[in-house]
């Protein structure tokens, strides 16, 4: 029996691997030292290098193996694969008991058959197809959602809608009164900015007093509603999506359905109602704060008289402007509530899906606010309002 | 030979020692004066009724909740009162399976198992991929590498959680209610897997559970927490407790309320 070491590989963590030819057709692999994932261990290529064509059998010697973990397991699994490819018999008797047990646990007999999924990038065409199907699916879901919410609204008008009053009141408080500080801040600053920008130009003609007109009309007709809409999209729309999304994750929505309670009536309707009611009020408040912002610039920087500014604003704003502004805000309220609730209801069943739903709700709300503003402005223009 | 044999040969038998431990939240004391020892390669059961503080004790043991008083020693090293760096090193030797599996939902199973390896080893991407495949195969999930946690069943999520817990070849495995929410066959398979892994990896296992079948099938040592007296009222091999315990609470628990003390039907 030959027993010449063919080669020994040693590395700093002292995981050692050596090959010995026992007979012409048998190779002994000697494993020694510490095989640990935190250290260095020899690559399986070494085995491949030593697999001569005549070898039909591999045995192991682990007398000097002091410690091992998964690093040894992966080494052996790959050696096993190499042997299967080369039609070489592998004898596991020389391996530690634990290793043998784990190898059999990880063997294909213990796995479910036929499960594969390839990672990696999709081709361009697959991407296009997926996006198209997604678009069709989400469009269908959106229309179904709109239909269902209309039915729920119809039931509300008939007095048959099934939701809790306390829920409605809580949502009204959250999306109405509690939004006042942030709406105040944003609207005042927007009023200030308008007045500054307008003043720079109007000063050239000595027509500073018309700052009151610019700020008044802009805020009341459109900007008050748009700014409130954007604040509410980020604040309340996102919270609706996160609330309903988390309820999906926790199967709370399923629990409602199985009780025969429509989530559209119980969850979506009160939110839509609350926001459609609160948005015009917040918009009115935002108009006032914007005008006060403009007035601060007018009085303190342009040396206009307080009463002068007030009278100029009063004469500039017509009741039509106010109605157009309030109409904007009611539309925004419904849009934000719909986007938030829709994304919440479409939410998948995981933490990351809630995040995606929330982001998507905010983006959808803001985009629909801008688009609907453009449409309403155009229609008003055509109708001469 | 197991992977921890070297440590065994040089070290003592005791793996975890808990001394005079009080735990609770703020000024509220949940359990006081706890003393017990978990030996190497034990499957140690923490048992007791719902709300008795089993999971809180687990939190103290794994470093998520500081005890109010007392010591936890791992291989003789003081876990809570020692150097924070040492605490981190000890924690790296833990593998923890949470009650809800706690897989990261935005990552595939492969990424879930790979994260601890990427964080704490210098292995190449290829080596990490091989280890991930091995760990998932060990729990019977080969082929599920590219699945997301939301796409597999609860039992599979438990097993994937176990694969992640084993990622760094820990020498102590903690299980929080491993069989909760599993069917009897899956629960039994998980029990078998725990024993198999303990035997082959040589790990010490701490299990929080109130599943009687699991307790008797896998446990060789235990403590019983009693919320009324706020202390450990029984400890030792669960099978021996069933045969010998005189405590009505322990008997009632271990016999599903059939006996309040040995030999007396209630």
Which residues of chain B neighbour A36 with C-beta distances below 8 Å?
Answer: 169
Tens-place pLDDT, residues A111-162: 877 777 766 678 899 999 999 999 999 899 989 999 999 999 999 999 888 8
Same domain, A340 and A247: yes
pLDDT above 60 for A3: no
Query: Are A101 and B141 in contact (CB < 8 Å)?
Result: no
Query: Are A119 and B121 in contact (CB < 8 Å)?
Result: no
What is the extent of the structural domain holding A95?
Answer: 5-109
Contacting B with CB below 8 Å, chain A residues are: 34, 36-38, 62, 65-71, 73-74, 77-78, 96-99, 101-102, 105-108, 110-112, 114-119, 348-353
Query: Are B146 and A119 in contact (CB < 8 Å)?
Result: yes
pLDDT at A4: 41
Query: Are B142 and A115 in contact (CB < 8 Å)?
Result: yes
Query: Are B138 and A108 in contact (CB < 8 Å)?
Result: no
Same domain, A299 and A360: yes
Arithmetic mean of pLDDT over chain B: 87
pLDDT at A15: 83
- The CA distance from A67 to B150, in Å, is 37
Q: Number of A:B CB contacts under 8 A?
A: 104
Query: Are A108 and B142 in contact (CB < 8 Å)?
Result: yes
CB-nearest partner of A118 from B146, B149, B150: B146
Query: Are B169 and A77 in contact (CB < 8 Å)?
Result: no
pLDDT above 50 for B56: yes
Arithmetic mean of pLDDT over chain A: 89
Minimal CA separation from B65 to chain A, in Å: 24
Residue A229's contacts (CB-CB under 8 Å, 6 or more residues apart) are A279, A328, A329, A332, A333, A335, A336, A365, A369
Same domain, A100 and A236: no
Residue A113's contacts (CB-CB under 8 Å, 6 or more residues apart) are none
Task: Kindly report the length of chain A.
Answer: 385
Here the tokens at position B118 are 């990427």
Q: Is residue A147 part of a domain?
A: no
Same domain, A73 and A198: no
pLDDT above 70 for B262: no
Q: Is residue A51 part of a domain?
A: yes
Tens-place pLDDT, residues B22-34: 999 888 899 999 9
Strand partners, A18: A8, A30
pLDDT above 90 for A109: no
Q: Which chain A residue has the Cα nearest residue B145?
A: A117
- Residue after which a domain boundary falls, among A91, A109, A127: A109
Which residues of chain B neighbour A73 with C-beta distances below 8 Å?
Answer: 134
Q: What is the distance in angstroms between the CA of the first residue and the CA of the last residue of chain B?
A: 48
pLDDT at B89: 87
Same domain, A166 and A312: yes
- The CA distance from A2 to A23, in Å, is 7
Please state which of the ranges A110-114, A173-177, A229-233, B119-123 shows the lowest mean pLDDT.
A110-114
Same domain, A197 and A336: yes
Q: Is residue A144 part of a domain?
A: no
Q: Is residue A279 part of a domain?
A: yes
Q: Is residue A148 part of a domain?
A: no
Here the tokens at position A291 are 């005008």
Tens-place pLDDT, residues A201-215: 998 988 889 999 999
B140 touching chain A per CB within 8 A: yes
pLDDT at A272: 92
Tell me the H-state helices in chain A: 45-50, 70-85, 97-105, 124-157, 165-175, 180-202, 211-218, 224-232, 238-249, 252-258, 263, 269-300, 306-316, 319-345, 351-383
Percent of chain A with pLDDT over 70: 96
pLDDT at A245: 94
Q: Which chain B residue has the Cα nearest residue A101?
A: B200
- The CA distance from B117 to B99, in Å, is 22
pLDDT at A197: 92
Which residues of chain A neighbour B135 with C-beta distances below 8 Å?
Answer: 70
pLDDT above 90 for B8: no
CB-nearest partner of A115 from B123, B144, B199: B144
- The CA distance from A221 to A366, in Å, is 18
pLDDT at A191: 95
Same domain, A204 and A264: yes
Q: Is residue A354 part of a domain?
A: yes
Residue B84's contacts (CB-CB under 8 Å, 6 or more residues apart) are none
Among A256, A247, A236, A269, which residue's Cα sits nearest to residue A163? A269
- Residue after which a domain boundary falls, among A92, A109, A126: A109
Percent of chain B with pLDDT over 90: 42
pLDDT at A119: 67
Residue A197's contacts (CB-CB under 8 Å, 6 or more residues apart) are none
Same domain, A246 and A169: yes
Query: Are B200 and A99 in contact (CB < 8 Å)?
Result: yes
CB-nearest partner of B199 from A38, A98, A119: A98
Q: Is residue A83 part of a domain?
A: yes
Which residues of chain B neighbour A67 with C-beta distances below 8 Å?
Answer: 3-7
Same domain, A240 and A373: yes
Contact by Cβ (8 Å): B66, B80: yes
Tens-place pLDDT, residues B71-89: 999 998 999 998 888 888 8
B2 touching chain A per CB within 8 A: yes
Tens-place pLDDT, residues A328-368: 999 999 999 999 999 999 998 888 899 999 999 999 999 99
Tens-place pLDDT, residues B160-175: 999 999 998 898 999 9
Best B5, B8, B101, B105 residue to mutate vs chain A (most A CBs within 10 Å): B105
Minimal CA separation from B128 to chain A, in Å: 10
Strand partners, B204: B172
Same domain, A294 and A222: yes
B123 touching chain A per CB within 8 A: yes
Q: Which chain B residue has the Cα nearest residue A96?
A: B1
Q: Is residue A130 part of a domain?
A: no
Please state which of the ranges A46-55, A87-96, B114-123 shows the lowest mean pLDDT.
A46-55
pLDDT at B220: 93
Query: Are A351 and B106 in contact (CB < 8 Å)?
Result: yes
Tens-place pLDDT, residues A211-264: 999 999 999 999 999 999 999 999 999 999 999 999 988 888 888 887 778 899
Query: Are B141 and A111 in contact (CB < 8 Å)?
Result: yes
Contact by Cβ (8 Å): B95, B72: no
pLDDT above 50 for B6: no
Average pLDDT over residues A274-283: 95
Average pLDDT over residues B186-200: 86
Name the phi and psi angles at B36, rounded to 5.
-160, 165
Here the tokens at position B82 are 């020692």
Tell me the H-state helices in chain B: 5-10, 54-62, 84-92, 109-120, 125-138, 154-165, 184-201, 212-218, 238-244, 248-254
Contact by Cβ (8 Å): A90, A83: yes
Same domain, A166 and A235: yes
Buried/exposed A213-244: b ≥16 CB within 10 Å, e otherwise: bbbbbbbbbbbbbbbbbbbbbbbbbbbbbbbb
Provide the number of structural domains found in chain A. Answer: 2
pLDDT above 80 for B99: yes
pLDDT at A99: 86
């Amino acid at each position: 029996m030959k027993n010449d070491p063919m080669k020994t590989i040693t590395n700093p963590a002292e995981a050692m691997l050596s090959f010995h030819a026992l007979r012409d057709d048998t190779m002994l692999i000697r494993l020694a030292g510490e095989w640990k994932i935190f250290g260095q261990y020899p690559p399986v290529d070494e085995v491949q290098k030593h697999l001569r064509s005549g070898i039909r059998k591999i045995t192991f010697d682990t007398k000097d193996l002091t410690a091992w973990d998964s690093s040894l397991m992966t080494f052996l699994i790959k050696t096993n694969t190499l042997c299967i490819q080369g039609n070489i018999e592998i004898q596991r008797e020389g391996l530690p008991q634990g290793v043998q047990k784990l190898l059999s646990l990880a063997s294909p007999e213990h796995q479910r058959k036929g499960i594969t999924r390839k990672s990696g990038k999709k081709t361009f065409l697959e991407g296009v197809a997926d996006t198209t199907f997604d678009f069709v699916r989400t469009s269908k879901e959106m229309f179904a959602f709109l239909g269902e919410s209309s039915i729920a609204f119809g039931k509300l008008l008939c007095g048959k809608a099934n939701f809790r009053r306390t829920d409605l009141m809580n949502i009204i408080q959250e999306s109405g009164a509690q939004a006042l500080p942030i709406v105040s801040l944003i609207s005042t600053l927007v009023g200030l900015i308008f007045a500054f920008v307008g003043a720079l130009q109007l000063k050239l003609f000595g027509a500073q007093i018309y700052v009151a007109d610019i700020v008044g009309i802009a805020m009341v007709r459109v900007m008050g509603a748009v700014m409130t809409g954007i604040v509410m999209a980020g604040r309340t729309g996102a919270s609706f999506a996160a609330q309903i999304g988390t309820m999906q994750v926790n199967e709370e929505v399923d629990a409602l359905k199985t009780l025969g309670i429509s989530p559209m009536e119980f969850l979506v309707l009160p939110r839509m109602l609350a926001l459609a009611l609160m948005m015009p009020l917040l918009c009115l408040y935002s108009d006032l704060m914007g005008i006060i912002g403009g007035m601060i610039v007018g009085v303190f920087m342009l040396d206009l008289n307080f009463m002068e500014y007030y009278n100029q604003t009063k004469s500039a704003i017509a009741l039509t402007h106010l109605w157009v502004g309030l109409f904007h805000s009611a539309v925004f309220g419904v849009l934000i509530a719909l986007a938030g609730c829709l994304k919440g209801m479409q939410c998948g069943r995981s933490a990351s899906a809630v995040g995606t739903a929330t982001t998507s709700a905010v983006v959808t709300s803001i985009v629909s606010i801008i688009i609907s503003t453009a449409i309403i402005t155009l229609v008003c223009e055509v109708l001469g309002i | 030979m197991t992977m921890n044999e070297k440590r065994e040969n040089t070290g003592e038998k005791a793996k975890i020692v808990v001394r005079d431990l009080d735990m609770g939240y703020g000024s509220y004391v949940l359990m006081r004066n706890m003393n017990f020892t978990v030996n190497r390669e034990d499957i140690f059961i923490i048992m007791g009724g719902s709300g008795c503080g089993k999971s809180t004790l687990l939190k103290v043991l794994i470093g998520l909740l500081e005890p109010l008083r007392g010591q936890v020693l791992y291989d003789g090293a003081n876990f809570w009162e020692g150097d924070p760096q040492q605490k981190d090193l000890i924690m790296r030797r833990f593998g923890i399976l949470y009650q809800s599996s706690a897989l990261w939902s935005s990552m595939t199973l492969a990424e879930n198992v790979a994260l601890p390896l990427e964080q704490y080893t210098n292995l190449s991407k290829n080596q990490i991929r091989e280890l991930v495949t091995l760990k998932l195969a060990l729990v019977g999930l080969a082929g599920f590498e590219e699945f997301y946690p939301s796409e597999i069943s609860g039992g599979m999520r438990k097993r994937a959680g176990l694969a992640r817990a084993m990622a760094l070849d820990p020498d102590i495995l903690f299980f929080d209610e491993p069989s909760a929410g599993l069917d009897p066959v899956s629960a039994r398979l998980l029990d078998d897997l725990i024993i198999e892994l303990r035997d082959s990896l040589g790990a010490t296992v701490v299990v929080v559970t109130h599943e009687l079948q699991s307790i008797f099938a896998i446990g060789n040592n235990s403590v019983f927490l009693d919320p009324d007296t706020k202390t450990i009222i029984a400890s030792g091999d669960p099978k021996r407790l069933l045969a010998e315990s005189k405590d009505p609470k322990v008997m009632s628990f271990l016999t599903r309320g059939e006996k309040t003390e040995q030999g007396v039907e209630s």
